[in-house]
């Protein structure tokens, strides 16, 4: 299953981009990052077997294990792509949220988009590690 981050705004080169590259590079399966301008731009076409996850302040605060189990279930059910959307500064409107299969939030705090992208990449690596029974994730 392709793990595809689609983010508004350019990350450029810097520590945040290095973190994204580091975590996505550790994932055994296919990954992709698509950057769109803050406004406009073309969203990549969505295939029928694509799940859409939006990072949104109104989303669920899902734990790492539950997140991994959900991704594993989607993968096992034949999902070809899991697309993760990070919106522009104003986030998503209700119509956009209604299109999502899942809304997730990284806590109640507001995070800069560069950090949200790095945090998402780490959580994707963590989820794939959990599914592969790799010791990276530890339950306390």
Give binding residues as ranges: 55, 87
Tokens encoding 30? 């296919």
Q: Can you count the helices (H) and strands (E) in the chain?
A: 4, 5
Cα separation, 93 vs 54, whole angstroms:
11
Cα separation, 99 vs 96, whole angstroms:
5
| Contacts of the segment 88-96: beta carbons below 8 A, 24+ positions apart | 88/8, 88/9, 88/38, 88/39, 89/38, 89/113, 91/56, 91/57, 92/54, 92/56, 96/54
Binding residues for S-adenosyl-L-methionine, as ranges, are 55, 87
Q: Could you count the other beta carbons within 10 Å of the beta carbon of residue 42?
A: 8
Tokens encoding 128? 């794939």
């Amino acid at each position: 299953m392709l793990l595809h981050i689609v983010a508004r705004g350019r990350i450029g080169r810097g520590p945040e981009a290095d973190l994204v590259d580091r975590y996505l590079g550790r994932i055994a399966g296919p990954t992709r990052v698509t950057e769109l301008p803050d406004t406009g731009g073309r969203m990549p076409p969505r295939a029928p077997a694509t799940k859409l996850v939006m990072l949104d302040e109104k989303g669920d605060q899902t734990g790492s294990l539950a997140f991994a189990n959900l991704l594993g279930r989607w993968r096992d059910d034949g999902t070809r792509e899991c697309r993760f959307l990070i919106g522009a500064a104003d986030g998503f409107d209700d119509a956009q949220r209604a299109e999502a299969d899942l809304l997730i939030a990284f806590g109640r705090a507001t995070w800069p988009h560069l950090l949200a992208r790095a945090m998402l990449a780490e959580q994707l690596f963590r989820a794939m590690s959990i599914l592969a029974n790799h010791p990276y994730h530890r339950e306390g």
